[in-house]
């Protein structure tokens, strides 16, 4: 009996050690991939890798790389906004941090400038209260003929006022559910994932719409991923399990963009059970006929999967 108990204890210890080693190996591989993408890829793919590194506690490597990017590309419209976004998040020097943010402000205020959409989206991502800081510009931007720009402006307008946040969230949900422009619907669901805070009735409207979609609908995974990420406290565990199963049970038909979107959703809500799926993405599993592993899209997917792996392994389960 004693031998049996000792054997059981030893097996538990060995299993724990194997799990620890496995987690460490996963994290090592994921971090190596992010550093590789940061070093070898260009422009916006590099930006994504840098932000994933920042958000997982590795800001210094991103800061070093993007200080160099600023020297090279500070005059290049659009991309420079994302450079400053990375630097604002990574820099710990208060003077420089203010400088990066002011650069984005200036681009946002230039109504005829080439950076309007990127600056508006970036200030929303940084949760800057633009409606308070620049009320006239923000109002004009929300009324822009460019609907992509206007939608990002609606997101940016939400910060600094809970009343505006609640009202704009409802507008964004309605746009996601009913707009005739698929790009606007996609942007709106993206913003809902970022803002969070859906009420239970709002979330149930989103779930109902997602469940009514055909699996071939181009927004099918987008809606289900958004439902998974935005589930409020008290959401049905049965419903969440169903959503999880629907989007993760067979990803072979998914495009590289859809796989990337799924990886980012799992970074927010994934658990240990999703690690095998994410490691498969990291290792380009089932990529034949879907994407070239050497492509930027392939690198972007691997970076997103690496980010999700690091996030999941950092959580207590």
**What are the sequence ranges of the domains in the chain?**
40-160
Do the beta carbons of residue 293 and residue 287 sit within 8 Å? yes
Which residues lie below 8 Å from residue 299, measured CB to CB, with a gap of 6+?
37, 40, 41, 45
pLDDT at 5: 35
**Cα separation, 209 vs 182, whole angstroms:** 14
pLDDT per residue as tens, the chain (317 positions): 443 333 343 333 333 433 445 899 999 999 999 999 999 999 999 999 999 999 999 999 999 999 999 999 999 999 999 999 999 999 999 999 999 999 999 999 999 999 999 999 999 999 999 999 999 999 999 999 999 999 999 999 999 999 999 999 999 999 999 999 999 999 999 999 999 999 999 999 999 999 999 999 999 999 999 999 999 999 999 999 999 999 999 999 999 999 999 999 999 999 999 999 999 999 999 999 999 999 999 999 999 999 999 999 999 86
Complete DSSP assignment for 111-177:
TTSTTHHHHHHHHHHTT--HHHHSHHHHHHHHT-S-HHHHHHHHHHHTTT-HHHHHHHHHHHHHHHH
Which residues lie below 8 Å from residue 218, measured CB to CB, with a gap of 6+?
182
Question: Global pTM?
Answer: 0.91
pLDDT at 21: 52
pLDDT at 316: 81
């Amino acid at each position: 009996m004693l031998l049996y108990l000792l054997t059981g204890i030893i097996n538990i210890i060995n299993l724990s050690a194997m799990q620890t080693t496995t987690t460490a190996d996963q994290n090592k591989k994921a971090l190596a991939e992010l550093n590789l993408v940061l070093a070898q890829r260009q422009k916006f793919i590099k930006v994504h890798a840098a932000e994933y590194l920042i958000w997982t506690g590795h800001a210094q490597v991103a800061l070093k790389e993007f200080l160099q990017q600023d020297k090279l590309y500070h005059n290049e419209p659009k991309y420079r906004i994302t450079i400053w976004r990375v630097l604002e998040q990574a820099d710990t020097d208060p003077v420089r941090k203010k400088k990066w943010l002011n650069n984005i402000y200036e681009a946002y205020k230039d109504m005829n400038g080439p950076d309007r959409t990127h600056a508006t989206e970036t200030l929303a991502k940084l949760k800057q209260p633009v409606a308070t800081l620049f009320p006239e510009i923000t109002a004009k931007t929300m009324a822009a003929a460019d609907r992509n720009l206007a939608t990002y402006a609606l997101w940016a307008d939400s910060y600094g006022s809970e009343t505006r946040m609640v009202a704009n969230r409802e507008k964004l949900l309605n746009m996601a559910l009913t707009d005739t422009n698929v790009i606007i619907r996609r942007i709106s669901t993206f913003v809902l994932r970022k803002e969070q805070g859906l009420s239970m009735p709002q979330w149930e409207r989103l779930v109902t719409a997602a469940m009514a979609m055909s699996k071939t609908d181009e927004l099918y995974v987008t809606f289900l991923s958004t439902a998974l990420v935005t589930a409020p406290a008290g959401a049905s565990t049965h419903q969440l399990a169903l959503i999880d199963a629907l989007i993760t049970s067979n990803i072979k038909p998914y495009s590289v963009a859809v796989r990337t979107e799924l990886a980012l959703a799992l970074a927010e809500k994934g658990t240990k059970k999703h690690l095998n799926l994410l490691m498969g993405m990291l290792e380009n599993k089932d990529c034949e006929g879907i994407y070239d592993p050497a492509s930027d899209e392939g690198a972007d997917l691997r970076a997103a999967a690496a980010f999700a792996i690091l996030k999941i392994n950092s959580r207590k389960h």
